[in-house]
Amino acid sequence: MMSDKKIYLDYAATTPVDKRVLDAMLPYFSEHFGNPSSVHTFGQRTEAAIEAAREDVARILGCNIQEIIFTSCGSESDNLALRGTALAMRHQNGSNHILISPTEHHAVSLTAEQLRSHFGFELEYLSVDSFGQVDPEEVEKRLRPDTAVVSIIYANNEIGTVNPISEIGAICRERKVAFHTDAVQAAAYLPVNVNQLNVDMLSLGAHKFYGPKGIGALYVRNGTPILPVQTGGGQEFGLRAGTSNVPYIVGLASALELAEQERDARRNHVQPLRDRIISRVTDSIPDVKLTGHSKDRMPNHASFVFQGVDGNELLMMLDIEGYACSSGSACKTGDPEPSDVLMSLGYPTLWALGSLRISLGTHTTSEEVEAFLDVLPHTIKNNRQLVRAH
Ligand SMILES: *Cc1c(COP(=O)(O)O)cnc(C)c1O
């Protein structure tokens, strides 16, 4: 059955820009267009907008304005944190060891892999439990005197699991090792106070919390050694050259402010819908497992593996029915390989290939969820029949 109205259940891939955020951005395209590095009034006006945005972000993160670096996206923030700190630490004291979890976003894991393959760093992966959660004691055991940087994802985009960042951060702090967390997925719903989290670096990307795509931020605690990855002009305290993207910086700050103000209301809206999906799917469909943690998980996030299902085919079948979901990370769509994250949790390939992620947002209604839950069981059944016929 072809449906005209498409229902969006993929907020972990990206979110629509909030109308209030768009309104805040619009004057900075054509009206207030000056280069914020210029001395004249045109420049002063946009510089003031950037500095106001930086103050807003710093207040929400609980840090100083000099500790906020605007970047082009969450991926760039992750790259700057990992590559910048690893290279600076090695230059400073010869540290050569990088410690990450096996459930990092590719923006972290492939940066770390490149630091290993092309820059001679020693890369070590922590182990995780079957929910994809890192044990702080495990971090403590693996830290070495020559560890340059530790990076652990705050909330995983594929399986929704939330890590005990504050506990891990306390351990790294005691051992004086730089600790980065990728909070790109987490920031939409979880607290981002960098002192409560005990982090030295934290990555954000606006499009995961109703801001625009193509803008991110990196928190860098004062005193953390970090080498700029992009050199040129002195913007962003010399850590990120390039004329500032004024409207998008304004948009990121506005979106983060709204996320902070509306955090509880947003959570209260999505969490019961998520719980409804998890219980209905696990009760009504055979050979299914919830992936990720049952309690320590993103409130808008439900993810599963179905034995004997072709995940990519399932997404296409659901799209025809009118539902936009994901099999995990948006970057992997069309890739027949099972996800690294699911494989690191120990799922057999036949399960890992049948993954489905449903992520909800402010616009999701319970009618949409019920309609989806009515369609899913027979879609899974048809998919399994197709897989068996091949
Ligand atoms: C989306 C995402 C990224 C990448 O952010 P972009 O702004 O799209 O580059 C990194 N890490 C996590 C956990 C994400 O969910």
Kind and range of the H or E run holding 327:
none
What residues contact 144, with CB distance under 8 A and at least 6 apart? 97
State the Cα–Cα distance between residues 177 and 69, nearest whole angstrom: 21
3-state secondary structure of 198: coil
Provide the pairing of β-strand 201-205 with 178-182.
parallel
Per-residue pLDDT at 109: 98
User: Please, are residues 356 and 291 in contact by the beta-carbon 8 Å criterion?
Assistant: no
**Residue 123, burial from CB neighbour count under 10 angstroms (0-12, 13-18, 19+):** middle
Per-residue pLDDT at 327: 87
Neighbours of 12 (CB within 10 A): 28
3-state secondary structure of 267: helix
Q: What is the percent of the chain with per-residue pLDDT over 90, rounded to a whole number?
A: 94
Residue nearest to atom 15 of ligand 1 (CA): 185
State the Cα–Cα distance between residues 116 and 123, nearest whole angstrom: 6
46-77 residue pLDDT tens: 999 999 999 999 999 999 999 999 999 999 99
Atom nearest to 208 CA in ligand 1: 1
Question: Which band of pLDDT confidence, cut at 50, 70 and 90, is reported for residue 5?
Answer: confident
Please identify which residue in the block is written with the tokens 């979890």: 101
Atom nearest to 78 CA in ligand 1: 10
274-302 residue pLDDT tens: 999 999 999 999 999 999 999 999 999 99
Per-residue pLDDT at 328: 61
Alpha carbon separation from 21 to 54, 243, 250, 360 (Å, rounded): 15, 21, 8, 20
DSSP state letters, 229-259 = SS-SS-TGGGTS-S---HHHHHHHHHHHHHH
Give, for ligand 1, the residue of 14, 72, 75 to mutate: max count of ligand atoms closer than 8 Å to Cβ.
75
Neighbours of 122 (CB within 10 A): 14
Question: Which band of pLDDT confidence, cut at 50, 70 and 90, is reported for residue 321?
Answer: very high
The pLDDT of 310-314, averaged and rounded, is 94
Residue nearest to atom 8 of ligand 1 (CA): 74
Atom nearest to 214 CA in ligand 1: 7
Ligand 1 contacts (CB < 6 A) are: 73-75, 78, 105, 107, 153, 157, 182, 184-185, 205, 207-208, 216
252 Cα to the center of ligand 1, angstroms? 14
111 Cα to the center of ligand 1, angstroms? 13
Per-residue pLDDT at 390: 80
Per-residue pLDDT at 78: 98
163-186 residue pLDDT tens: 999 999 999 999 999 999 999 999
Atom nearest to 205 CA in ligand 1: 7
Q: What domains appear along the chain, each with residue ranges and CATH number?
A: 7-15+263-389 (3.90.1150.10), 19-261 (3.40.640.10)
Give, for ligand 1, the residue of 17, 100, 184 to mutate: max count of ligand atoms closer than 8 Å to Cβ.
184
333 Cα to the center of ligand 1, angstroms? 15
**Residue 16, burial from CB neighbour count under 10 angstroms (0-12, 13-18, 19+):** middle
State the Cα–Cα distance between residues 76 and 103, nearest whole angstrom: 18
Residue 334 has pLDDT above 80, yes or no: no
The neighbouring-strand residues paired with 202 are 181, 219
Atom nearest to 330 CA in ligand 1: 1
State the Cα–Cα distance between residues 15 and 255, nearest whole angstrom: 11
Q: How many whole angstroms from its chain centre is CA 343? A: 19
Neighbours of 337 (CB within 10 A): 10
Per-residue pLDDT at 337: 81
State the Cα–Cα distance between residues 36 and 43, nearest whole angstrom: 4
Instruction: Write down the pTM of the prediction.
Output: 0.96
The pLDDT of 35-45, averaged and rounded, is 97
232 Cα to the center of ligand 1, angstroms? 25
3-state secondary structure of 39: coil
Rounded mean pLDDT of the chain?
96
The pLDDT of 306-311, averaged and rounded, is 95
Question: Of residues 63, 172, 325, 331, which has the active-site annotation?
Answer: 331
Give, for ligand 1, the residue of 105, 204, 339 to mutate: max count of ligand atoms closer than 8 Å to Cβ.
105
13 Cα to the center of ligand 1, angstroms? 8
The pLDDT of 78-82, averaged and rounded, is 98
Phi, psi torsion values for 187, nearest 5 degrees: -60, -20
228-246 residue pLDDT tens: 999 999 999 999 999 999 9
Per-residue pLDDT at 3: 53
Give the chain's length.
390
Residue 63 appears among annotated catalytic residues: no
Residue 136 has pLDDT above 80, yes or no: yes
Question: In degrees, to the nearest 5, what angle opens at C-alpha 15 toward C-alphas 251 and 285?
Answer: 160
Give, for ligand 1, the residue of 157, 165, 213, 215 to mutate: max count of ligand atoms closer than 8 Å to Cβ.
157
Closest CA to 203 of 76, 53, 16: 76
User: Among positive and negative, which fits the CA dihedral 184, 189, 193, 197?
Assistant: negative
3-state secondary structure of 293: coil
Atom nearest to 156 CA in ligand 1: 13
Q: What is the percent of the chain with per-residue pLDDT over 70, rounded to a whole number?
A: 97
Residue 336 has pLDDT above 80, yes or no: no
